[in-house]
Amino acid sequence: MRKNSVKNTRINGEVQRALAEIIRGELKDPRIGEVTSVVAVEVAPDLKTCKVWISVLGDEKAQADTLAGLNSAEGFIKNQLARKINLRNTPQIRFIMDQSIAYGVSMSKLIDDVNRE
């Protein structure tokens, strides 16, 4: 299966939707921020590993706490993912903090500052 095949794209979408539901509704860890969103998911073609990019609204401490909470709940999340999606293998999940939204906001601020001058 190629990396960008239709099947892999469909699996990425399903895993992203299921992970968003699990994080939003089923995790009770107080470290996980209320405004945590799953930005992107990339499941390996062999379905063994999965990279999950998440975005958290808040400061760096809230982001670090959320990442620690998600990493500690990885076994539970993997179990719930296996129940929601019927895959041959349930992938090992690796959470990555997505900084693109914060980067975009800072670049917009810099552009506005330049335009004012």
Which burial class, exposed, middle or buried, applies to 34 when counting CB atoms under 10 A from its CB (0-12, 13-18, 19+)?
exposed
End-to-end CA distance of the chain: 52
Looking at every residue in the chain, the average pLDDT score rounds to: 89
Confidence category of residue 111, pLDDT binned at 50, 70, 90: very high
- Supply the pLDDT for residue 1: 45
In percent, the amount of the chain with pLDDT more than 70 equals 97
- Supply the pLDDT for residue 2: 54
**Distance from C-alpha of 17 to C-alpha of 81, rounded to nearest angstrom:** 10
The number of beta carbons lying within 10 Å of the beta carbon of residue 53 is 18
Q: pLDDT tens-digit profile of 1-39?
A: 455 788 889 999 999 999 999 999 888 888 888 888 899
- Supply the pLDDT for residue 75: 92
Tokens of residue 11, six digits: 């699996």
- Supply the pLDDT for residue 74: 92
